[in-house]
Amino acid sequence: MILSVVKERAANERRVAVTPDVVKRFVGLSLEVRVEHDAGLAGGYPDEAYVAAGAQIVDDPDALWRECDIVLKVRQPETDGASGRNEVGLLRAGAVIVGMLYPLTNPALVKALAEAKVTSFSLDQLPRITRAQTMDVLSSMSTVAGYKAVLLAAAHHGKFFPMLVTAAGTIAPAKVLILGAGVAGLQAIATARRLGAVVEAFDVRPAVKEQVESLGAKFLAAEAITAEGEGGYAKELSEEQHKRELELIHQVVKGVDVVISTALIPGKPAPVLITEAMVRDMRPGSVIVDLAAEMGGNCELTRGGDTVTRHGVTIMGPLNLPADTPMHASQMFAKNLLAFLTPMLKEGQLTLDFDDEVVKGTCITHEGRIVHEATRQAVEGGKRS
Ligand code: NAD
């Protein structure tokens, strides 16, 4: 079987789906691996490293799509998008694509994949079960984003993060507040602590208190503000609880230098946790890094993809931080892909078991049909409206 690794064409995307280390593993699983010329260069992986790992470098991108059995990507393939390319149209019927396709919000892509009779897997739909942890690209990318958000804040802030005792006097450590202590928030806590900041965190899932404390941060206790939903995720707070949460955050943000906000609720816009009135009351020079920017932002003043300064506070709304740490983001993504595909690869052939909840949970289209129930509903719902 021929496995293609193609170059990401989205603007500012520097990741690559498969790194040379993982190429070696696929070759060991009896696959012929072809890599597009310079596919990994922006991430720090040159063609020579892929060749040394056993891959063949291909100059013609269309040939990679046309002649493969499996194509691996980070982002969605082009249908007839901005670049004018139709990558899905190049795939042969029965070919397999794996990546982060976000099918629930990309009906045109899903329809194109079904029409092309491509078998597509979207790793953003992976069930978050223990067995699938090694395949969990969302956790990997959240880890990268949480880390990088703290570095962005530290680089931008006019203060040191650690306490320093110098001949020029003692410098107090920076104070950091983390809102949302899921995967990204916990990594942000760990990173800010490593830099020496004093860290506080809040989440509506009380279960994370122990994890927050084990990282050396203080958990802002608020017994009446909890909203644990299905599958360990948060759900929306009641109006009354949300009001109480805003009051709590308002008190705390007045005394911090940095806020990293990561609060998300599956399938909903991000909850607003930092209002303009709060920003006005923050210390001048403070920095907010809003990791929820893609879902509308946790701060009322966030502009997705932009950095703005309001009332002396810098508010950053980065949209794709993992692409700014492409070497390790690609390494983690590639390892997740390997863990996902290995159980399906038997003697160089792909065997799909639709009774397996990982296969069932991630397979979006197969043999011309949309087989993923939530995606089918989203696509059909879109047709009606
Ligand atoms: P997420 O990105 O959906 O949300 C980030 C955090 O925001 C969550 O911790 C959530 O509770 C919090 N949040 C939502 N509304 C909030 C509000 N109003 N105020 C403050 N915080 C708010 O979360 P995630 O990082 O994807 O993790 C979600 C859950 O999935 C966690 O329980 C995590 O441990 C679990 N998980 C399990 C696996 C696995 O077993 N394979 C892998 C990854 C994550």
SS3 content of the chain, % helix, strand, coil (to 5): 40, 20, 40
- The predicted pLDDT at position 83 comes to 67
Q: Which atom of ligand 1 is nearest to the CA of 133?
A: 41
Is 136 considered catalytic here?
yes
Residue 139 has pLDDT above 90, yes or no: yes
Report, in angstroms and rounded to the nearest whole number, the Rg of the chain calculated over CA atoms: 22
Q: Which atom of ligand 1 is nearest to the CA of 139?
A: 43
- The predicted pLDDT at position 34 comes to 98
The predicted model gives 14-27 an average pLDDT of 98
Mean pLDDT, all residues of the chain: 95
Task: Select from 125, 128, 246 the residue to mutate for testing ligand 1; criterion: most ligand atoms less than 8 Å from CB.
Answer: 128
Secondary structure class of 200 (helix, strand, coil): strand
CA 51/CA 45 separation, integer angstroms = 11
Is 244 considered catalytic here?
no
User: What is the percent of the chain with per-residue pLDDT over 90, rounded to a whole number?
Assistant: 89
- The predicted pLDDT at position 146 comes to 98
Task: Select from 202, 241, 262 the residue to mutate for testing ligand 1; criterion: most ligand atoms less than 8 Å from CB.
Answer: 262
Residue 318 has, within 13 A of its CA and on its CB side, a CA count of 25
pLDDT (tens digit per residue) in 36-82: 999 999 999 999 999 999 999 999 999 999 999 999 999 999 997 66
**Smallest CA separation from ligand 1 atom 36, residue:** 128
The predicted model gives 326-336 an average pLDDT of 98
Residue 385 has pLDDT above 50, yes or no: no
pLDDT (tens digit per residue) in 342-384: 999 988 889 999 999 999 999 999 999 999 999 999 999 876 5
Give 17's DSSP letter: S
H-helix or E-strand containing 62?
Answer: helix 61-66
**Smallest CA separation from ligand 1 atom 42, residue:** 128
Going from the Cα of 285 to the center of ligand 1, the distance in angstroms, rounded, reads 29
Pocket (CB within 6 angstroms of ligand 1): 128-130, 132-133, 136, 139, 142, 179-185, 202-205, 232-234, 237, 245, 262-266, 271, 273
CA 208/CA 199 separation, integer angstroms = 15
Torsion (CA) 44, 47, 50, 51 in degrees, nearest 10: -150
Q: What is the pTM of this model?
A: 0.95
